[in-house]
Amino acid sequence: MEIEVGEVAELVQALIRNRCVNDGTPGSGQEARSVDLIAGYLEGAGLDLERFEARPGRESLVTRIEGSDPEAPSLMLLGHTDVVPVNEDRWSRDPFGGELVGDELWGRGAIDMFNLTASMAVATRRLAVAGFRPRGTLLYVAVADEEASGLYGAKHLAERETDSVRADYLITESGGFPIDAGDGAVTLPAIVAEKGTMASRLRVTGTPGHGSMPYGTDNALVKAAEVVRRLDAYRPATRVSDHWRDFVRGFGYPPELTEPLVDEDTLADTCAALPPAIAKLAYSCCHTTLTPTVLRGGTKRNVIPDAVEIELDVRTLPGDDVESVGAVIDAALGDLADEVEFVPGVTIAASESPTETPLWDSLGRVGQHFYEGSALLPMLMPGATDARHFRPLGTTCYGFGIYSRKVPLETLATMAHGDDERVDLESLRMITDMWDVLVHDFLG
Ligand SMILES: [Zn+2]
């Protein structure tokens, strides 16, 4: 089925159909296919295209419209071309079909984040073709490997190709979902901070023995089950940041609703009374979280295991480090702590950007263009984006986009990395316009 839906929708469809699924292994993703696609689309617009290959098949693309004033701040529009895997059985349609159904475009990546990656490319091409010369340089960057560590994408560029991707300001996913703030007012969240990650493992040891005689044995698997249970039951200290306080208060709800959510003594209990999606967000934004996700152990059915490994998805708040996370684990495990070894892995600290900046003010004006009277809401993101690789270079990074009201926020929140991911065409039109309005406002 091919219906004329405009160049941005066609580009989103093609990106979906390229199936650049990143399962975390080095050979997956193969984003060079989508770099070919985007490069092909941008060709003929007078842009210089730079391609960077971090390993075979893992390519990223950089292009720019040079500014006329070297003193003016530069802006990068940053998109990724990879997607997370799908569970096909749970989808109502082909996750890689890129089907247009009614006014919705279906497929993995539709909102995470081909809606942005494609519309950024379309806006950049249009500006180039129109001969637009900004004061500050505009960069468009499409990277591989965002859905894993960024090792073959943003991290590679930021660390090894720094001169090609240096920018004063950067916008990437996500944000810009209209939230009703009562009395017809709308707030638009913009991501200003994100939690850190610490890929960790716990090693649980025991004593081997014969599976036929379990009585009184020291079974590492049984111990690991109790470790997992304690980790799940443990409630680490609540930490309310200024960003969280501003975010909650920005909703404009009455104080009896907002105050318990900005009070470290009451937040965790208040979560139980909230809709699940809001509770998840509130809890994650104000706690260091330790999620057991993988358990490996045992060798043979009739052998009592003496070693089990638990993988932990640790998400950190600003100020957390290996020592403080170790202390949380010890507190969770109590008297089992001595029998468990904490093995911290790759650690990327939580990061944030200030909101007292010209780009923040510009986003506020741009938001008003689409939702009159709207206000920006600074938001902390529990997950990670590629912004974390650029903040250490001194780049001020926000997550922003713009969406229509056609897809409710609750639905949007479940679609990224979930089932039946799709985007409506009105949102695609709005977002493509948004980059144009933003570039003129901020770089013009
Ligand atoms: Zn994403």
pLDDT for position 5: 53
Identify the DSSP state of 111: I
> Quick one: pLDDT at residue 155?
96
**Ligand 1 centroid – CA 80 distance (Å):** 7
Instruction: List pLDDT tens digits, range 47-99.
Output: 999 999 999 999 999 999 999 999 999 999 999 999 999 999 999 999 999 99
Inter-CA distances, 316 with 46, 176, 236, 284, 351, Å: 44, 24, 12, 9, 10
Answer whether 298's CB lies under 8 Å from 221's CB: yes
Per-residue confidence band for 414, with pLDDT thresholds at 50, 70 and 90: confident
pLDDT digits (tens, 9 = 90+) for 229-280: 999 999 999 999 988 998 888 877 788 889 999 999 999 999 998 888 889 9
User: Please, which pLDDT band fits residue 2 given cuts at 50, 70 and 90?
Assistant: very low
CA of 174 to the centre of ligand 1 (A): 8
Distance 290 CA to ligand 1 centre (A): 22
Q: What is the pLDDT of residues 5-14, one digit of tens each?
A: 589 999 999 9
User: Quick one: DSSP state of residue 298?
Assistant: -
Does the predicted TM-score (pTM) go above 0.85?
yes
Residue 70: predicted pLDDT: 93
Cα 111 to ligand 1 centre (Å): 8
The rounded Å distance from CA 385 to ligand 1 centre is: 7
Provide mean pLDDT across the span 300-309: 97
CA 132–ligand 1 middle distance (angstroms): 29
Span 93-106, average pLDDT: 96
Rounded to whole angstroms, the Cα distance separating 236 from 271 reads 14
Confidence of residue 3 (pLDDT cuts 50, 70, 90): very low
In whole angstroms, what is the distance from residue 215 CA to residue 183 CA? Answer: 66
Element counts in the chain: helices (H) and strands (E): 15, 19
Distance in Å, CA 238 to ligand 1 centroid: 27
Q: Ligand 1 mean position to 399 CA, how many Å? A: 10
